[in-house]
Amino acid sequence: MILTLAFLSALLPALAFAQVDEALKAQLAVQQEAAAIQRQIDALDEESRKLLEEYRAQAAALDELTAYADQLDKLVADQAQEIAERERQLAELETLKQHLFPFLLEMLNALEQIVAADTPFLLEERKARLASLREVLSRADVSLAEKYRRLMEAFRIEAQYGHNLETYEGPLPTDGDHRTVRFLRFGRVGLYYLTLDGQEGGVFDPKSRAWHRLEAEDLKPLEQAMRIAAKQAPPDLVILKVPAPEAP
């Protein structure tokens, strides 16, 4: 009995140590497993954070793309509306062209009638302008806008003739005798001529459409008026005979 107790007394410390060792190993294993799990949790948390940041970045990019797409949709809609408006304007323009070209021809015919019935000053220049206009209107390679501009320019020039004073040289067609003389145009009120030697002068009568000779005493004022028109003399009062106006 005593031997048995002594054996048990000797065996108990060894058993207790073994149990403690096993407990420590078990605790260490648990701690290591817990550490591994924590690392996994930390890794998952980092991955979740990165995924969240990526999601937020993708969401922001999606918002920008959505806003850009909305802007493009609006731009496309505006362009479609503008194209429809341009097509409508083109259709109206084609209709306008069909009516405008005959109108331009009518305007040219009216301008030709004005020149034919007007005082015969600068006839060669004015007839050449009308011939050029008629040639331009007949050309298919000239735009309608350019034709209109040229015609309006001709009307503007004709209108200016009524507001200025000029002198020039040219042929005088009288009785088949085309003499070169000096002309004085006083707007559209009076048209005069004076021979180059200053010995003969005349005034055009719109009513009879003929030239009437001036008296000798009228030649000097006419010469003075021509010098003023040519800016060879300062402006001064000059008295010239003018044709009597026609009653309306």
Evaluate if residue 59 carries a pLDDT over 50. yes
- Break the chain into its structural domains and give their ranges: 98-160, 164-229
Evaluate if residue 201 carries a pLDDT over 50. yes
- For tokens 């930390």, what's the residue? 42
State which amino acid sits at residue 84: A
Q: Identify the residue with better confidence: 33 or 126.
A: 126
Do 115 and 128 contact (CB within 8 A), yes or no?
no
Q: Where are the alpha helices (DSSP H) in 2-122?
A: 2-117
Of 19, 18, 15, whose CA–CA distance to 7 is shortest?
15
Do 135 and 160 contact (CB within 8 A), yes or no?
no
Across the range 26-34, mean pLDDT stands at: 79
Across the range 186-206, mean pLDDT stands at: 92
Note the pLDDT of residue 84: 83
Q: What phi-psi label fits residue 219: left (phi over 0), alpha (psi between -120 and 50 degrees) or beta?
A: alpha
Evaluate if residue 247 carries a pLDDT over 80. no
| DSSP classification of residue 142 | S
Across the range 208-226, mean pLDDT stands at: 93
Inter-helix orientation angle 123-137/144-160, to 10°: 160
Note the pLDDT of residue 248: 46
Evaluate if residue 9 carries a pLDDT over 70. no
110-160 pLDDT, tens digit each: 999 999 989 899 999 999 999 999 999 999 899 888 999 999 999 999 999
Evaluate if residue 14 carries a pLDDT over 80. no
Q: Identify the residue with better confidence: 49 or 230.
A: 230
Distance of alpha carbon 66 from alpha carbon 59, whole angstroms: 10
Mean pLDDT is lowest, of 22-31, 64-73, 190-199, for 22-31
Note the pLDDT of residue 245: 60
User: 100, exposed or middle or buried, with CB in 10 Å at 0-12, 13-18, 19+?
Assistant: middle
Across the range 28-37, mean pLDDT stands at: 79
Do 201 and 137 contact (CB within 8 A), yes or no?
no
66-109 pLDDT, tens digit each: 888 788 788 788 888 888 888 787 777 777 777 788 899 999 99
CA angle 232/238/243 to nearest 5° reads 120
Across the range 18-24, mean pLDDT stands at: 70
Q: Identify the residue with better confidence: 228 or 29.
A: 228
pTM of the entire predicted model: 0.59
State which amino acid sits at residue 172: L
